[in-house]
Structure 1
């Protein structure tokens, strides 16, 4: 069965959908016929994306304002989803921040901000969804967007690497714990992708040197096909 058949009519929440990979995950899900709920802090961007997808014939796109660094914001967003009468089928836990700087001089609040968004936020969103699925005995799927930096490291983004390694291990642990409820938890570890969040880093001397070490000498590009395709598949984190 192809991805379009699997997603058609499903209710999919994508966090961090206002730009980069999140925006493209939302586009792909919408083009596959899913009912997409796009969530982020920048509501104006979400509304512009929803309008565009509506013009392209997407069945239903709902804007949900959510700051994953705020538990109250996540609670409010899920309450809004509950009020719509929908129960989610898929959560794409994509929201994240970069957090650059040398470890010896990095302010503690910068480290805390990366952990609050990239680790705690992923945890809180996953738990909110899983609690509802367990109570409703509803099969659901969580896809956590980790990074190749969860497996390897580079200087200057230590908090980010730590956070993504935590997401990888979180995914494995939750996959084992929640499998009995019919809840699947997987992770994707993208390589070096040029997005709005990382553009500044790739333009630096260190970033340009890293690109030269990539066999194809270029970054990946976030891109979704104009039609639904089978190229986007979660990589199992367990099993």
Structure 2
């Protein structure tokens, strides 16, 4: 039988760091007061524990279990349940500690280390070095006036990513024309951006699901600013739902906006440009799960896959006319509209960050910089491509063993010993 692992160095450091406070604290509370303080600490510091390394998490797990249940009363998990064995060993190391003393230890040790843990790590637990390496640059990437004299037409331009891209294009000198369904939102956004950049921002209400509405919006764009040099198909719709709960209208509401809307705008604008002997650069906002699909967002996955196919098809077909087609597939970027529909409770925020090697969500200005580069003259040899812009999420989720980043050095040492002792290993 494998011997039980001794308490880690981190656990011993925790005990030492809190020892002075514990001696003073242990005589102050007991009974109902101690239980109330313990439960309040558990609630208040849950997020702090999530940001700690695995050794510290084990320490507070074991103290919590000892405080709630007393001595461990189950058999040690089998050798293939490494996580279970570590938890069992940590809990069993407190055998004989009273439940009240475990509560005191939990409170005093956690109070001592929680602020430092929060300062040392991000939500994902990445190191301070990684945090510094992955800090976003939010200022404009391209030289000032890179879009002077250009007209940029953006669907879904009133909020979220669309508003962010509209702002960056305007900062770079473009005349921006934004469309969406809500006139009041568009007007407020146009006024805000124009006041900030000093450049004109025009708008028109438009339902991209309706070809006639799209035609009227492009009429307004031509009248106010001229034909577009850049078209950004950003309008989208999405919500989470098991497929069997969808109605035909639920399916249609997403595919009409995402796929049909992109096609209608591209087709109407393209015909006008071709008739005028002009071309444009077309950017479509896609999604990282378009090519492989994803459960619970099937309408969006199917529609975005169609958008990706349209990008590649028209890059091949309309390249002869001077058109370029590119796409950006964003990973998690925290905007109110998207997150309110895809994570309404906030339950999955930590899970999403944990699968980002960069340890943070993307920022709207970062995506805006990428967008303005891809549709600029600096990217004239790029077409027919959809780029993941996701903080490494797709790469991380593609690797079967990538979750092993959570394994500590002590755990690697332990597993290496197990592997070397396996019969038949070399």
Q: TM-score, normalised by structure 2?
A: 0.52
Match status 1:237 vs 2:379: no
Q: Output one character per residue of 1:126-167: Cα deviation in whole Å (capped at 9) or x when no partner.
A: 011111111111121111111112133332111111111111
Instruction: Please report how far the alpha carbon of residue 213 of structure 1 lies from its aligned counterpart in structure 2 after TM superposition.
Output: 2.1
Say if 2:276 is the partner of 1:112.
no
Aligned counterpart for 1:122 among listed residues 262, 282, 297: 262
Matched residue SS, 2:330? coil
- Which runs of 5 or more residues in structure 2 are unaligned? 1-140, 375-381, 387-426
Q: Is the 8 A contact 2:353 2:361 kept in 1?
A: yes
Whole-angstrom CA distance in 2 between matches of 1:45 and 1:89: 24
SS at match of 1:150: coil
1:188 is aligned to 2:313: no
Distance 1:197 1:163 in 2: 19
In structure 1, C-alpha distance between the alignment counterparts of 2:143 and 2:310, rounded to whole Å:
25
* Structure 1 alignment gaps of length 5 or more: none
Task: Compute the displacement of 1:195 (Å).
Answer: 1.5
Q: Deviations over 1:162-201 (max 9, x none)?
A: 1111111110001111111111111111112211222132
Q: Name the structure, 1 or 2, with higher relative contact order (CA <8 Å, separation 6+).
A: 1
User: Could you say if the C-alpha distance between residues 230 and 95 of structure 1 is closer, same or farther in structure 2, counting changes exceeding 3 Å?
Assistant: closer
Deviation at 1:99, TM superposition (A): 3.0
* 1:236/1:157 CA distance change after superposition, 3 Å: same
2:400 matched residue in structure 1: none
Is the aligned partner of 1:16 residue 2:156?
yes
Cα RMSD after superposing both structures = 2.5
Asked whether the equivalents of residues 151 and 175 of structure 2 are also in contact (C-alpha less than 8 Å), the reply is yes
Q: 1:69-88 to 2 correspondence within 5 Å?
A: 69-84=209-224, 86-88=226-228
1:28 counterpart SS class: helix
Corresponding position: 1:158 with 2:298 = yes
Residue of structure 1 equivalent to 2:363: 221
Q: In 1, distance between residues paired with 2:369 and 2:225?
A: 29
Structure with the larger helix share: 2
Match 1:177 to one of 317, 324, 331: 317
CA distance in 2: counterparts of 1:148 and 1:38, whole angstroms: 25
- Give the length in aligned residue pairs: 237
Cα distance change of structure 1 residues 77 and 49 upon mapping to structure 2, 3 Å threshold: same
Change (3 A) 1:40 1:109: same
Q: Please say which structure displays the higher CA radius of gyration.
A: 2
> Following the alignment from structure 2 to structure 1, what is the Cα–Cα distance between the partners of residues 252 and 307?
15
